[in-house]
């Protein structure tokens, strides 16, 4: 038996049209899963579907604004219909608004929390009956180094990513009896659109990350393919409620 085989499985990856989400989607597709990606930017999603199909996968894109919890429920239902089932949910969509806490508006706070945290709960909530019906499932929530650490410009983002870890533990304990494993991945500093903007906005960030990361480099989206396959496959059937850093050692640097 190949513990990592995902043939016949269907995965929904939110924010799967670029960055870490697409890196994970490529990994899951390579292990045999059909992929539904969700995002707001239809052109980016179409290009990602093309790339996944070119690599031999069954793939589809759905347009959704995940800051809207009702849209999350509709998205999960549509994703389950697209290939007839839903086995794997990757809650990856996320944003950051980088400002000092005193400069935040409540609307900005709410936007970050809605996109990063409430959407993950709403998608998991909607996926639960599908997974229960199928006899089990895998939910992978994307946290951050800001699930562990703080910084002056991440009040809302850190709150959302700390919340992801605690929500992961709660869902894991609730749904273990249904054979649904729920885990979190905590990426280190990964070169994506999100962090390209961070490097423009936060002086010295690029070099500070390099200096602190034992692996001596920024991560790339492909670094997340392996953890996605592990957490989506039979290989992790007794792993639940964990928060696993994929960070080149950043979080253990003394
Ligand atoms: P990107 O900006 O490249 O990707 C973010 C994705 O989220 C895009 O696909 C975007 O799709 C989607 N998205 C954002 N807002 C919404 C929304 N309202 N509705 C639907 N989709 C949305 O960033 P990353 O790949 O870097 O980030 C992915 C995840 O990883 C995030 O949760 C981020 O917090 C986390 N992370 C990233 C780190 C890094 O170093 N890069 C480190 C730690 C965590 P679209 O453009 O179509 O809306």
pLDDT digits (tens, 9 = 90+) for 110-143: 999 999 999 999 999 999 999 999 999 999 999 9
Residue 195, ligand 1, Cβ within 6 A = yes
- Residue 247 phi, psi dihedral angles, 5° rounding: -145, 15
Q: What pLDDT was estimated at residue 1?
A: 85
- Is-catalytic flag, 157? yes
- Is residue 88 in a domain? yes
pTM: 0.98
Residue 118 in domain? yes
Token couple for 177: 């009896």
Both tokens assigned to 7: 């043939």
**Distance linking the first and last C-alpha atoms of the chain:** 40
Average pLDDT, the chain: 97
pLDDT at 34: 98
Q: Into how many domains does the chain fold?
A: 1
Whether 4 maps to a domain, the answer reads no
119 occurs within a structural domain:
yes
Question: Confidence class of residue 97 from pLDDT cuts 50, 70 and 90?
Answer: very high
What's the CA-to-centroid distance between 2 and ligand 1, angstroms?
31
CB of 134 sitting under 6 A from ligand 1: no
Judge whether 251 lies within some domain.
no
Is residue 33 one of the residues assigned to a domain? yes
Is residue 5, in this structure, part of any structural domain at all? no
Average pLDDT over residues 6-30: 98
For ligand 1, atom 36, the nearest C-alpha belongs to: 144
Expressed in percent and rounded to 5, the helix, strand and coil fractions of the chain are 55, 15, 30
| pLDDT score of 201 | 87
- The answer on pLDDT for 236 being more than 90 is yes
Whether residue 242 is predicted with pLDDT greater than 90 in this model: the reply is yes
Domain interval for residue 214: 10-242
pLDDT higher than 90, residue 81: yes
Question: Is ligand 1 within 6 A of the CB of residue 23?
Answer: no
In a domain, 40, yes or no: yes
Q: Residue 209: give its domain's CATH number.
A: 3.40.50.720
Catalytic residue among 104, 128, 157, 250: 157
Residue 52 confidence (pLDDT): 98
Alpha-carbon torsion 130, 167, 74, 228, what sign? negative
Contact (Cβ atoms closer than 8 angstroms) between residue 187 and residue 144? yes
Residue 65 Cβ inside 6 Å of ligand 1? The answer reads yes
Best mutation site among 41, 89, 93 for ligand 1 pocket (most ligand atoms within 8 Å of CB): 93
pLDDT at 186 over 90: yes
Give the residue whose CA is nearest to atom 24 of ligand 1. Answer: 19
- What pLDDT shows up at residue 195? 92
Output the CA–CA distances (angstroms, integers) from residue 166 to 15, 43, 121, 171, 242, in the order listed.
21, 34, 11, 9, 10
pLDDT at 128: 98
Task: Give the tens place of pLDDT for each residue, 144-185.
Answer: 999 999 999 999 999 999 999 999 999 999 999 999 999 999
Quick one: pLDDT band at residue 202, thresholds 50, 70, 90? confident
Is the pLDDT reported for residue 190 higher than 90?
A: yes
pLDDT at residue 12, rounded to an integer: 98
For Cα atoms 96, 214, 205, give the angle at the middle one, nearest 5 degrees: 35
């Amino acid at each position: 038996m190949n513990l990592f085989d995902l043939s016949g499985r269907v995965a929904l990856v939110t924010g799967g049209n670029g960055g870490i989400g697409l890196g994970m989607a490529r990994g899951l597709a390579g292990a045999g899963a059909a992929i539904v990606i969700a995002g707001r930017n239809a052109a980016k999603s179409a290009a990602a579907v093309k790339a996944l199909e070119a690599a031999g996968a069954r793939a589809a894109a759905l347009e959704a604004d995940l800051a809207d919890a009702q849209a999350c429920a509709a998205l999960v239902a549509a994703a389950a219909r697209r290939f007839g089932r839903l086995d794997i949910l990757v809650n990856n969509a996320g944003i950051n608004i980088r400002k000092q806490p005193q400069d935040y508006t409540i609307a900005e706070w709410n936007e970050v929390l809605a996109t990063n945290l409430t959407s993950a709960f709403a998608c998991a909530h909607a996926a639960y009956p599908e997974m229960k019906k199928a006899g089990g499932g895998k939910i992978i929530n994307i946290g951050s180094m800001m699930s562990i650490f703080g910084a002056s410009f991440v009040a809302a983002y850190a709150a959302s990513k700390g919340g992801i870890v605690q929500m992961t533990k709660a869902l894991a304990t609730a749904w273990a009896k249904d054979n649904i494993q729920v885990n979190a991945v905590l990426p280190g500093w990964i070169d994506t659109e999100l962090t390209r903007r961070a490097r423009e906005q936060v002086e010295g960030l690029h070099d500070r990350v390099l200096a602190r990361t034992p692996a001596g480099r920024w991560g790339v989206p492909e670094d997340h393919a392996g953890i996605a396959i592990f957490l989506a496959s039979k290989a992790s059937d007794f792993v639940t409620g964990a928060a696993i850093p994929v960070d080149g050692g950043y979080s253990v640097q003394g």
